[in-house]
Amino acid sequence: MSAAELITPHPGGLASEQAEVAHRGLYYMSLMREVEDRIERKLYRQGKILGGVYVGRGQEAISVGTSLAATPEDVLLPSHRDMGLFFVRGVTPARVFAQYMGRVGGLTRGRDGNMHMGDLKLNIISIISAMAACVPVGTGVAMALRYQGKNAVAFCFFGDGATSRGDWHEGVNFAAVQKLPVVFVCNNNQYAYSTPVEKQMGCANVADRGPAYGIPAEIVDGNDLLAVHEAAQRATAHARSGRGPYLMECKSFRMTGHSAHDAADYVPKDLWDQWSKLDPIPRLESKMIEQGLATQGEFDELHARVRAEVDEAVAWAENSPYPDPSTLLDDVYE
Helix axes 16-37, 225-240, angle to 10 degrees: 110
Residues 6+ positions from 272 with CB-CB distance below 8 Å: 255
User: Which of the stretches 1-9, 21-29, 167-175, 300-308 binds other proteins when contact is defined by CB under 8 A?
Assistant: 167-175
Q: How many CB atoms lie within 10 A of CB 220?
A: 28
Backbone angles phi, psi at 156, to 5 degrees: -115, 115
* Alpha carbons 327 and 92: distance in angstroms, whole number: 25
Q: How far is the CB of 301 from other proteins (least distance, A)?
A: 36
User: Based on CB atoms, which residue is closest to other proteins, 15 or 332?
Assistant: 332
Q: Which of 9, 72, 90, 166 binds other proteins (CB under 8 A)?
A: 166
Q: How far is the CB of 191 from other proteins (least distance, A)?
A: 23
User: Based on CB atoms, which residue is closest to other proteins, 167 or 208?
Assistant: 167
Q: How far is the CB of 127 from other proteins (least distance, A)?
A: 10
Residues 6+ positions from 222 with CB-CB distance below 8 Å: 7, 59, 61, 62, 187, 188, 228, 250, 251, 252, 280
Q: Which of 43, 64, 96, 141 binds other proteins (CB under 8 A)?
A: 141
Q: How far is the CB of 131 from other proteins (least distance, A)?
A: 10
What does the DSSP assignment read for 109-133? Answer: TTSS-TT---BGGGTBPPP-SSTTT
User: Based on CB atoms, which residue is closest to other proteins, 266 or 322?
Assistant: 322
Counting residues that bind other proteins (by CB under 8 A) gives 42
Q: Which of 269, 325, 326, 333 binds other proteins (CB under 8 A)?
A: 333
Residues 6+ positions from 8 with CB-CB distance below 8 Å: 221
DSSP 44: T
* Residues facing 191 on adjacent strands: 196
What does the DSSP assignment read for 174-208? Answer: HHHHHT--EEEEEEE-SEETTEEGGGT-SSS-GGG
User: Based on CB atoms, which residue is closest to other proteins, 145 or 219?
Assistant: 145
Q: How far is the CB of 173 from other proteins (least distance, A)?
A: 6
Subset of 168-187 contacting other proteins (CB under 8 A): 170-171, 173-174, 177-178
User: Which of the stretches 8-16, 147-155, 194-202, 237-245 binds other proteins when contact is defined by CB under 8 A?
Assistant: 147-155
Q: How far is the CB of 257 from other proteins (least distance, A)?
A: 25
Q: How far is the CB of 63 from other proteins (least distance, A)?
A: 18
Task: Count Cα atoms within 13 angstroms, Cβ side, for 156.
Answer: 31
Residues 6+ positions from 226 with CB-CB distance below 8 Å: 10, 14, 18, 21, 22, 25, 65, 284, 287
Asked whether the beta carbons of 285 and 299 are under 8 A apart, the reply is yes
Subset of 49-108 contacting other proteins (CB under 8 A): 75, 107-108
Q: How far is the CB of 65 from other proteins (least distance, A)?
A: 24
Subset of 17-36 contacting other proteins (CB under 8 A): none
Window 111-140: contact mask with other proteins (x via CB under 8 A): xx---xxxxx----xx-xxx--x-xxxxxx
Q: Which residues here bind other proteins, judged by CB under 8 A?
A: 75, 107-108, 111-112, 116-120, 125-126, 128-130, 133, 135-145, 147-148, 154, 166-167, 170-171, 173-174, 177-178, 331-334
